């Protein structure tokens, strides 16, 4: 019986595979194999025993169903895996899990999952950045209305809007790179973090083990890797999800018929917008992004709670993390790819943007305020003149500039919203140029990029 929508509705198969039941077991077996090899290198077990353990620490020999059967019998998931692996290793099985506690294995396996997923996450962010870059370049001169409080404010450009999103994505890339070195961390320090089982050899084994797995070492463990690392990871994912919800919400708002400035991709040949209102073209992908982003953020509090454990560790984090880590990872990948698809094939109605911005003379209120200052008026006096003139135009109609001239007797130069976009183009070009440098850096240093976002 399938219950979770992840199993039949959301998420990419290649990402779900990282966090699947089989993958959990495979990663734990990989850690057990690497541990045996590290102990052999340190002279604690024989090379033959380590090679035997490595050979058998695969799903070919350690079957998921058999591990689950043993777990039902003994009530301990990791020990069930250890028993099955020990059995299939024969005489070498007596060296399986030597000096380890359960979380030496599970937390280090988590680190391997994080390591694998981070590569997907970075690719996802770069793909999103690329489509935002292209939109910013294409529409850097496309004037539209800027809105605050849901009301017309001042003219901007659509390229500025998307470049602002691009700059946010670039900051997230920096956060991802910074967090990776703190999150992708394992441990081999035993039951309370002292490494007492192997004594002075423990530090050496841990260093070899983590080096061979190409992950970091927990410098101050308890029984577990410190959960502030996982809190940082989930918080990062929630932060990215929040950005995606913001982007998707803007698409939804600009797609409203009374605005009509953009439209998310819609297969007009086949896609159904409504079961009864056949005419509907709904922004369902953007709405789905919003919905799933809220689910992701909902996991932040349980993750924070899971970091508060008794003494050197209790089990109150275990069950919640089985949900939190896979769900936030799979869902952020899902909505990142959906957001990229929305922006990649976004229909931009530049004519509607032009019509909307040109239809409201009041959006030049600030421009005329500054014109009055140029005529010698104090800023506050000019503000009140424009405010009163605007209220009259709203009530009785007419043109704002003419109303201001009537009130002041000044001749005010007629302006166009198209000429009042300030530094929009320059800001866009600066962000675009920064992205181009970031992209070059990733191409040159794939796997260990070096860049910064100011």
DSSP 320-369: HHHHHHHHHHHHHHHHHHHHHHHHHT-EE-HHHHHHHHHT-GGGGHHHHH
Q: Does the annotation mark 452 as catalytic?
A: no
Q: Classify the C-alpha dihedral 326-214-210-50 as positive or negative.
A: positive
154 membership: H or E segment, kind and range: strand 151-157
Residue 350 to residue 261: CA distance in whole angstroms: 7
Residue 277 predicted with pLDDT over 80: yes
pTM of structure: 0.95
Asked whether the predicted pLDDT for residue 330 surpasses 50, the reply is: yes
Average pLDDT over residues 389-418: 95
pLDDT for residue 62 is more than 80: yes
CATH value of 120-267+278-358 in 3.90.550.10, 1.10.10.10, 3.90.25.10, 1.20.200.10: 1.20.200.10
29 CB-side CA count, 13 A: 28
> Is the per-residue pLDDT at 136 higher than 70?
yes
Q: Determine whether 141 is an active site residue.
A: no
17-98 — its CATH code?
1.10.275.10
Task: Determine the Cα–Cα distance for residues 152 and 145; give it in Å rounded to an integer.
Answer: 6
Residue 228, token pair as written in the block: 């502030």
Report the distance separating Cα 202 and Cα 104, nearest Å: 12
Q: Poorest-confidence range of 9-18, 23-32, 182-191, 276-285?
A: 276-285
Q: Is pLDDT above 70 for 454?
A: no
Report the pLDDT averaged over residues 292-319. 97
Query: What's the mean pLDDT in 19-26?
Result: 97
CB–CB of 327/299 below 8 Å?
yes
Give yes or no for residue 20 having a pLDDT over 60: yes
Contacts of residue 216, defined as CB under 8 A and 6 or more positions apart, other chains included, come to 111, 181, 182, 184, 185, 186, 210
User: In terms of Cα–Cα distance, which of 298, 294, 303 is closest to 246?
Assistant: 294
Catalytic residue among 4, 119, 274, 416: 274
∠292-114-25 over CA atoms, to 5°? 100
Bridge partners, 152 (sequence order):
147
The answer to whether the CB of 27 falls within 8 A of the CB of 109 is: yes
pLDDT of res. 449: 44
Q: Which residue stretches of 20-98 are H helix?
A: 21-41, 47-56, 64-74, 77-88
> In the predicted model, what is the mean pLDDT of residues 221-242?
98
Spatial distance between the Cα atoms of 18 and 110, rounded to a whole number of angstroms: 10
pLDDT in tens, 160-217: 999 999 999 999 999 999 999 999 999 999 999 999 999 999 999 999 999 999 999 9
Residue that has been written with the tokens 């994505």 in this structure: 169
Residues 6+ away with beta carbon under 8 Å from 384: none
- CB 336, CB 125: distance < 8 Å: yes
Domain-wise residue ranges, the chain: 17-98, 120-267+278-358, 360-419
Q: Two tokens at 163?
A: 């470049």
From the list 261, 264, 271, the residue with the least C-alpha distance to 287 is 264
- Cα separation of 163 and 133, whole Å? 7
């Amino acid at each position: 019986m399938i219950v979770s929508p992840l199993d039949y509705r959301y998420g990419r198969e290649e990402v779900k595979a990282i966090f699947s039941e089989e993958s959990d077991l495979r990663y734990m077996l990989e850690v057990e194999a690497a541990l045996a090899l590290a102990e052999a290198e340190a002279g604690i077990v024989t090379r033959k025993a380590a090679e035997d353990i490595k050979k058998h620490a695969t799903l070919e020999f350690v079957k998921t169903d058999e591990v689950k059967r043993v777990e039902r019998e003994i009530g301990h998931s990791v020990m069930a895996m250890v028993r099955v692996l020990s059995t299939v290793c024969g005489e070498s099985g007596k060296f399986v899990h030597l000096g380890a506690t359960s979380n030496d294995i599970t937390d280090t396996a988590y680190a391997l999952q994080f390591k694998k997923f981070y590569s997907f996450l970075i690719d996802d962010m770069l793909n999103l950045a690329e489509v935002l870059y292209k939109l910013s370049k294409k529409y850097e001169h496309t004037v539209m209305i800027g809105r605050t409080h849901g009301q017309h404010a001042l003219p901007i450009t659509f390229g500025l809007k998307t470049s602002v999103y691009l700059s946010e994505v670039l900051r997230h890339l920096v956060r991802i790179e910074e967090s990776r070195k703190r999150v992708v961390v394992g441990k081999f320090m035993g039951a309370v973090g002292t490494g007492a089982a192997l004594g002075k050899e423990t530090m050496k084994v841990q260093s070899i083990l983590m080096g061979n797995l190409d992950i970091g070492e927990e410098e101050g463990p308890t029984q577990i890797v410190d959960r502030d690392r996982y809190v940082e990871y989930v918080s990062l994912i929630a932060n990215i999800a929040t950005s995606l919800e913001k982007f998707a919400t803007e698409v939804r708002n600009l797609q409203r018929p009374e605005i009509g400035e953009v439209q998310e991709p819609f297969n007009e040949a086949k896609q159904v917008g409504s079961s009864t209102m056949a005419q509907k073209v709904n922004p369902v992908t953007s709405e789905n992004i919003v919905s799933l982003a809220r689910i992701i953020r909902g996991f932040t509090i349980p993750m924070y709670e899971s970091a508060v454990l008794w003494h050197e560790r209790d089990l109150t984090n275990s069950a919640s993390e089985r949900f939190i880590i896979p769900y936030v990872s799979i869902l952020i990948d899902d909505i990142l790819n959906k957001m990229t698809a929305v922006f990649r094939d976004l229909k931009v109605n530049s004519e509607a943007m032009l019509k909307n911005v040109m239809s409201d003379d009041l959006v030049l209120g600030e421009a005329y305020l500054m014109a009055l200052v140029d005529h010698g008026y104090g800023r506050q006096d000019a503000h009140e003149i424009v405010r009163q003139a605007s209220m009259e135009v709203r009530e009785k109609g007419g043109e704002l500039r003419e109303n201001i001239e009537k009130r002041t007797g000044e001749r005010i130069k007629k302006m166009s919203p198209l000429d009042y976009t300030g530094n929009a183009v320059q800001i866009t070009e600066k962000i675009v140029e920064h992205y181009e440098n970031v992209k070059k850096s990733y191409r040159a240093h794939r796997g260990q990029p070096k860049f910064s976002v100011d």
